[in-house]
Amino acid sequence: MSENIVILMIGVSTFLGALGLIALLWGVKTGQFDDQSKFIDAARYDNEEELRDAVMMEQKKADHKKRREEAIKKRTMPVD
Amino acid sequence: MAPLPCTHCNLTFDESAMITEEHPDQTLHFCCKGCQGVYHLLQEEGLDTFYDKLGETTLQPASPQSEDLEKFDLDGFKQRYIHEDSEGLYEINLIIEGIHCSACVWLNEKVLHKMQGVIEATINYTNNKAKVIWDPEVVALSQIIETIRSIGYNAYPYDPSLQEERATKTRKAYYSRILVAVFGSMNIMWIAIAHYAGYFSGMKQEFKDILNVAEFLLATPVLFYSGWIFFRGAYYGYKNRIINMDTLVSTGAILTYAYSIYAMMSQHGEVYFDSVTMIITFVLVGKYLEVLSKKHAVDRLDTIMGSTPTEVTLVDKGVKSLVSIEHIIVGDIIELKPGEKVVIDGVVTQGGASFDESQLTGENLPTYKTLGDRILSGSLCLDSVVHYEATRDASSSLLSSIVQLLEESITKKPRIEQLANTISGYFSLGILIIALATFVGWYLTTGNFEQALIIAISVVVIACPCALGLATPMATLIGISVSAKRSILFKEATFLETMAKSTLLALDKTGTLTEGKPSVLTHQPLHPYDPNLLYALVATSTHPVSEGIRHYLTQAYTTLEAVPLEQIKSIQAKGVVAYYQGRRILGGNASLMAEYGIPTPSPTDHILFYFAIDDTLIAHFELSDTLRQGAIEMVKAVKALGIKVVMLTGDHKQSANSIAKQVGIGEVYATLLPQEKADIIDHFHQQGEVIVMAGDGINDAIALTKSDIAIAMGGGADVAIAMSDVVVLDEKPHSITDAFRLSKRTYRAIKENLSLSLLYNAIALPLAVMGFVTPLIAALSMSLSSLLVVGNSLRIKLHTKGATDE
């Protein structure tokens, strides 16, 4: 067994582990584990309907932004 | 008839009592109009999959909400709770009431998502808090709240900026640090196994180098990221000239780390990266457990403030208007309607009503207030309209000052300096001095700088605070789990230690020593009578005395049937009058009897209830708040442990003294307002007492936070439980004794552990100083000392219930 094999094995496994750790840290930072009880139930409500719901919410946000931009445009346009 | 579950809330009722709906394919049963309404609403909206998600869970029956919605759109409300972002969207934090299961969360989110103008709605299932973002041009907050109410829930606003954000942030930071530490130490562990195997079977230097570098790479983030907390602690300690546990942990870890780098570079000697990460990980997990508990307290406090009104009805020259409480000045006349909560202190100028002051005094009996009487904020107007003059403005009124005090005291709780910290302070200092002396000694005698340095560092390494660091956490962890099995919840590990050192126990009367509701002591019928008549009379009132009588009657007679009464009239603070088949029936206290000219026997210490038909007194009952079972034994046992026992109560002197006499408490403080209770606790603090306080109501909350250890009885007000350090779930006074005993037992184990680890150091240190310590000895003796500490801590489990060891 050469040194290179050992370096490779330790390197790759630690790197993969570190990727998992980083994903976990990102999850903690973005608040995905804030609500333990809901977190556990998430799988039960994960279906097509929820996805449509999420899209609908995105759509609402986009609509609001558009309306607002239009309103600002109207206000800043010259009155003549 | 068989009991059936309600189609909406799943609670079971008798079929005859339910609303039945016949449909072609099924028959629906509802317990009330509210549930029926919600069911049909969900059907129409296509949200009926809610019931599949709900399963067998039972809900609270949906009751129509009477509170007016207008207040949510008022200006004062907006300024206080609503946050406007740069996009022109409004954001509010709500507490949703009535959430029982994840299906409820799903339903609420779904309904909010479907609303026009709601941009974002997320509900936290763990603490029932919700964040809603909406477009004020499309929808008003009152509509959002109305929607939540229409599906059978209720929502209160709260202000999250107070403490919640801070608490969550600390918790998250700790959590990330622990993740890194655990990851690092687990990986170093398996590399270290290869290392140790190589040590015994012989390993080429090249492989050793690879392992060393790998360990170095893993240990570095653990030491500097996860261990940052200890460096910070050590730095603050240094600034304040205190040597603490953090100093020892960080110097130990840094020196071991530096030595290991040296060994790695010079290629001789062993590396100790594994001990670096282990120390950090273990001690960090211990610290994290302490951070966890604070959050719950904050959640509960928000609930109290959220339920207080932001507007009051101001009467100005006969004109009534809703005014934000901030605008009320001293001298304004305020109208109070039944069911309203008082937010501003004042004096009654017109009318009279009964007030529920249980939040302030802990007493369940309402008090009657009339012209010239003082009204305190936090009480609840029960039965009629009252005008009163404000004597204080909103911010200095009692309720807001209570909440303010609570907020302050959550963060400033007195803590006793921990034993382990004091000892480890001296210990760290001693070790550092010994290590320095060793270095100087070896350098002077041998003249070999490198050898002297290595031996000096090995002194620090062998004195590694493993056993010392484990001494307290191990014992308290086991102490906590043993007490949890006996339904005593210690919220933080250090509380066990503090409680063991306590010298004084302050007890609340109502709800802690007593049941908190009056029950019948004696029943003296003067003439034979029909109990059904009295039963019907007391059933018309929800006054605690009526309920006590009713409870007594249902126990004394097996078959009771409420007879139909006519012209039922309840007279404030006096009793009830009704007619049955043309005869006048009276039930109430002596002043009611006096009003109708019926002579009564002379009063006693207890509450008296008279029952009369026409003009004759038929029976009289003596009622009193009964002692909880085991209260007398508890006081006796606690006194036997050498702890002083006092009683603090909001009740009047007479009944306080009579209870105190029964349980054997000599020192009694009666008629106390919440703030006064806290003042007494402060006073005891000045005398150098370490105080344990047991209570159950909001009236005890400030005193609870002021005391060193707060014990809440499990059935008490949420806020008292939140403020407390120890919760007694089974509400038995005996458990308080148990808590004292267990904490003393645990404290003993801590002391034993500390002596064990000091003894270990006393043996191992001289060897290290003399330069005899090889890596093998170091590793073996370290684990051995830790095992000893763990084993000794496990002995706490042998502590039997009711044992009197000290």
The total number of structural domains in chain A stands at 2
CB-CB contact of B402 with B673 (8 Å): no
How much is the ipTM here?
A: 0.72
CB-CB contact of B507 with B513 (8 Å): yes
What integer pLDDT is reported at residue B777 of this predicted model? 62
* A24 and A53 housed in the same domain: no
Most A CBs within 10 Å, among B123, B124, B222, to test the A interface: B124
The total number of structural domains in chain B stands at 5
CB-CB contact of B325 with B390 (8 Å): no
- Mean residue pLDDT across chain B: 77
Residue B609, pLDDT > 80, answer: yes
* B179 and B272 housed in the same domain: yes
Q: How confident is the model at residue B805 (pLDDT cuts 50, 70, 90)?
A: very low
Query: What is the mean pLDDT of the segment spanning B64-81?
Result: 69
Determine contact: A53 vs chain B, CB below 8 A: yes
* A1 and A31 housed in the same domain: yes
What integer pLDDT is reported at residue B769 of this predicted model? 80
Residue B101, pLDDT > 50, answer: yes
Query: What is the mean pLDDT of the segment spanning B684-708?
Result: 82
Determine contact: B210 vs chain A, CB below 8 A: yes
Determine contact: B171 vs chain A, CB below 8 A: no
CA separation for the pair B587, B534 (Å, rounded) = 8
Which pTM does this prediction carry?
0.58
- Say if A40 falls within a structural domain: no
Query: What is the mean pLDDT of the segment spanning B750-767?
Result: 82
CB-CB contact of B725 with B717 (8 Å): no
* B206 and B276 housed in the same domain: yes
**Structural domain of residue B109, as residue ranges?**
70-157
Q: How does DSSP classify residue B364?
A: -
A61 interaction partners in chain B (CB closer than 8 Å): 119-120
Residue A78, pLDDT > 70, answer: no
Closest of B406, B422, B416 to residue B496, by C-alpha: B416
A5-19, A30-44, B721-735, B750-764: range with highest mean pLDDT: A5-19
| Tokens standing for residue B572 | 């404030």
A11-25, A47-61, B263-277: range with highest mean pLDDT: A11-25
Least confident of A49-53, B182-186, B610-614, B667-671: A49-53
* B703 and B738 housed in the same domain: yes
CB-CB contact of B159 with B302 (8 Å): yes
Question: How would DSSP label each residue in B85-144?
Answer: -TTS-EEEEEEEET--SHHHHHHHHHHHHHSTTEEEEEEETTTTEEEEEE-TTT--HHHH
Amino acid at B660: A
- Say if B419 falls within a structural domain: no
Amino acid at B197: A
**Structural domain of residue A8, as residue ranges?**
1-35
CB contact under 8 A, A21 and B207: no
CA separation for the pair B698, B247 (Å, rounded) = 41
Residue ending a domain, choose from B223, B257, B292: B292
Q: How confident is the model at residue B362 (pLDDT cuts 50, 70, 90)?
A: low
Q: What is the pLDDT of residues B542-560, one digit of tens each?
A: 677 787 888 888 887 877 7
* B225 and B257 housed in the same domain: yes
> φ, ψ for residue B469 (rounded to 5)?
-65, -30
Helix B102-114 with B33-45: angle, nearest 10 deg:
60
- Say if B789 falls within a structural domain: no
- Say if B267 falls within a structural domain: yes
Residue B280, pLDDT > 90, answer: no
Instruction: Provide the sign of the torsion angle of the four alpha carbons B301, B307, B311, B315, taken in this order.
Output: negative
CA separation for the pair B508, B699 (Å, rounded) = 10
Q: How confident is the model at residue B294 (pLDDT cuts 50, 70, 90)?
A: very low
Share of chain B above pLDDT 90, in %: 3
Determine contact: B180 vs chain A, CB below 8 A: yes
CB-CB contact of B35 with B61 (8 Å): yes
A44 to chain B: closest CA residue: B53
- Say if A42 falls within a structural domain: no
Residue ending a domain, choose from B141, B157, B173: B157
- Three-state DSSP at B427 gives helix
